[in-house]
Amino acid sequence: MKKKVLFISFVPGLDKHGKVQRALAPFYLKNYLRTNKELADHFEIVIRVFDSFRNDEVLLREIRNINPVFIGISSFFWTVGKALSVSRKLRMVMPEAKLAVGGPEMNEKLFRDNEWLDFGIRGEGEKILEDVLTRICRNESTEGVGGLFQRIGGEVHINKEDNVLVDLSVIPPISELDEFADAIRKSPEGKFPLEISRGCTYKCAFCTWNTHGVRYNPVNVFEKNVEFLMSSLPVLHETVVEFNDSYLDIEPGRLMPYLDVLEKHKRKDVVFKGYFLFRRFDEELVRRLRAAQFKYLIFGLQAIDRTVLEKLNRKWFRIESIENVLKLKHEFDLSADMIYGLPGDNYDNFTDSMIKVYDMGFDRVNAFRLRILPGTAMAEDGTGIVYDEKPPHMVFSTESFPFNEIKRASMFSFNFSVLTGLLKRSDFEIIQNEFGISLKNICNDIHEQFPDWKKNIKKIGEGDNDSFVDPEQAGILEKYIRKNSSSEGRYDMAGDLLRIRCAEKQLETQRLRVLNRYPGSVLSSMEEIENKQVFLPGYKRVESAYEPSGFDVKCDCERASGKNAYILFNDMKNERIDYIKPNHPEAVEVLLGLLLKPVFKEELTECMLKSVNGLNEKQVDAFLRMLCERNAICFKKD
């Protein structure tokens, strides 16, 4: 009977969301090891992906029942705590089994500190594990295996030799591994990240991707994986598939055949997302990206200040090089990543950079707190850097960036993310022109002046880059403007803008939810309304109202005044708001009540006809048509 080798991965929240694609390491390892006949004859490789919230004792029981002779656990900074606690207990309950922990978190210190581990495998594990398991099945000593940390007779042996697969063509398509195909098909998203290459040519001080240069997967293997991916993805309105590569266009010429594959197998509802450099603007690359249905291009800028870039070993980076790319913003979604807490940087410099990058025209600028990851140049020589050696390895201060400024930078990033995630550039221009207050001003201190600001903003996930904003926050923005502006004016206008955009965001979220539920439908068509396949937008709290007899529309941009209710139209194309005056404000009340929940057109019509004298069905129909077609937002002032 074959002995069992168990590979384990942990995913936080797996039992709830089933996103098995976040734990691919065991599949990749098995996929490679199955090519070794000697190992395949000797071992049965078992894979388990566990929810890291599950109780350790429940997991131990399951592992004990499998009874493996070798247990390998992959670890990232979000799962290493679980990997260590489970492995520590495994040592007690299965003292005879060999225990290995691998992944980016493994480093010499971690291995030395956790004395129950037999092996530590850092980075890519295929080759190292092949060597270790081969020695074990031949009853040979594992001493001397390259890239392996191990305990021999209680003594720690650290081997830092390179031991990775240089030629990725020896790895079969992951999609042909039955367990993988099953797991992906059973997962709700049916999705996994694609990978064209491994490694990176740049040696950024905060990263470990650069250890072994860039190696490419064979195009035919990539194609098989793409084919499988396209067949496993459920049909939705839009699915975004991300690439794992450090930068996809390190060598633009080498990218082309992979783009051809994507174009060949493209599906209308599947778009792609990945990191790009665009060190040189390349029309041909743009054309091919478009054809391959790339939609989201991310630029890992990290910093733009020359001194800071030098400290990051990124002095090769020139912000000017991507200026041309920003011309593409009407056809791609362009975002930039920045880091705060970097050595050589400080609060003022960081916030200036954020604003500058935003002003360049990126759709979004995301900021992340610096993490000093094990094995990076910064971890090896972090002079003056105070950081947490424990995951998630956050920086706490540097010589130029004290903790208090990191805290402020975090709040700045949070405010920046919330505001730019909702308001449009033109909105900031209005605020700046009308009240002399800039985006930077607001991000700097709105949370200090109004501590309630954060109260109704719910962060989504770790970091500062996504959030749910309660429209009530608009009142705080109004107060902020009132307090800080020296000019006279309609301060509530800023609040109105935020309210509108909050509602708009919810509308968009709702729209996508409906479209994903009924793929292929067009939300704004009257036909869909008649077919009861459309939910009208629901707002948590709506202070706005539509004009029921809105067929008499004049988009004259004239702002309604006084206590009148008015209608606002999102002119998305021109990023501005249009206003009209209402004729039946009482119908607005009815509508508002109904809009608190998703509601079908028939219910709306019936309710309005009952409640508002003087309306007929035709008018209501026309109004609803307008509502959908114009993406209008209701608004009413008390």
Partner 1 sequence: MRFVSKRTERDTVAEKSIKRKVVFCKVYPYFQDEFKAHSEMFMTYAFDYLIAFAETRESIRDNYEFSILPVEKNILDEDLIYEVSDENPYMVGFSCSLLNTERCMNIARQIKLGMPEVRIVAGGAETFAAKRFLEKYPFVDFAVMGEGEAAFAELLEVLYEEGDTRGIEGLAFRDGEEIVLTGKRNPIEKLDDIPQVITSERVASLSGIVPYETGRGCSNGCAYCLWSPYPKRYFSMDRIKRELDVLMSNERIGKIWFINSEFDDDRNRSKEILRYVRDRRKHDIRLAAYLNFDSIDEEMLELVGELFFWLPIGLQTTDTDTLKSLGRGWFDLAKFEKTFDLIMENIPGSIINIDLMYGLPGENYESFIKTLLWCIRKRTPEINFFRLAVYPQTVLERKSNKYGFVYDKEPPYLVYASDTFSYDDMLKIEQAIINYLVLMSLYGPEGLERIHDNCDMKELLGRLQECSANYAGNFEHTMESNIKNINNNELRKPVMEFIRRRMKDEKAAGELERFIRT
Catalog residues that contact partner 1 under the rule CB under 8 A.
Answer: 53-55, 57-58, 61, 64, 81, 85, 88-89, 92-94, 369, 386-388, 390, 394, 396-397, 403-404, 406-407, 410-411, 459, 462
Q: Which is nearer to partner 1, 94 or 171 (CB)?
A: 94
Q: Which is nearer to partner 1, 59 or 529 (CB)?
A: 59
**How far is residue 576 CA from its own chain's centroid?**
28
| H/E stretch holding 291 | helix 283-291
Cβ within 8 Å of residue 521, ≥6 positions away = 514, 515, 528, 533, 534
Q: Which is nearer to partner 1, 85 or 438 (CB)?
A: 85
- Minimum Å distance from CB 547 to partner 1? 40
Residue whose structure tokens are 């700097």: 444
Say if residues 342 and 405 touch (Cβ distance below 8 Å): no
Residue spans of beta strands (DSSP E) within 63-183: 70-74, 98-103, 119-122, 148-152, 155-158
**How far is residue 103 CA from its own chain's centroid?**
21
- Minimum Å distance from CB 75 to partner 1? 17
- Minimum Å distance from CB 271 to partner 1? 30
> Helix 403-422 vs helix 492-517: angle between axes, to the nearest 10 degrees?
70
Q: Which is nearer to partner 1, 382 or 598 (CB)?
A: 382
- By CB atoms closer than 10 A (0-12, 13-18, 19+), residue 276 is buried
- Minimum Å distance from CB 145 to partner 1? 30
- Minimum Å distance from CB 236 to partner 1? 29
Nearest to 92 by CA among 126, 109, 116, 75: 116
- Minimum Å distance from CB 56 to partner 1? 9
- 374 prior amide bond cis, ω within 30: no
- Minimum Å distance from CB 9 to partner 1? 19
Q: Which is nearer to partner 1, 385 or 545 (CB)?
A: 385
Distance, in Å, from the CA atom of 400 to the CA atom of 403, rounded to the nearest integer, reads: 10
Distance, in Å, from the CA atom of 248 to the CA atom of 270, rounded to the nearest integer, reads: 18
- Minimum Å distance from CB 137 to partner 1? 26
Helices of type H across 52-160: 56-66, 80-93, 108-113, 126-137
Q: Which is nearer to partner 1, 15 or 331 (CB)?
A: 15
Q: Which is nearer to partner 1, 115 or 530 (CB)?
A: 115
- Minimum Å distance from CB 631 to partner 1? 32
- By CB atoms closer than 10 A (0-12, 13-18, 19+), residue 72 is buried
Say if residues 548 and 587 touch (Cβ distance below 8 Å): yes
Q: Which is nearer to partner 1, 144 or 392 (CB)?
A: 392
Q: Which is nearer to partner 1, 462 or 558 (CB)?
A: 462
Q: What is the rounded radius of gyration, in angstroms, for the C-alpha atoms of the chain?
A: 28
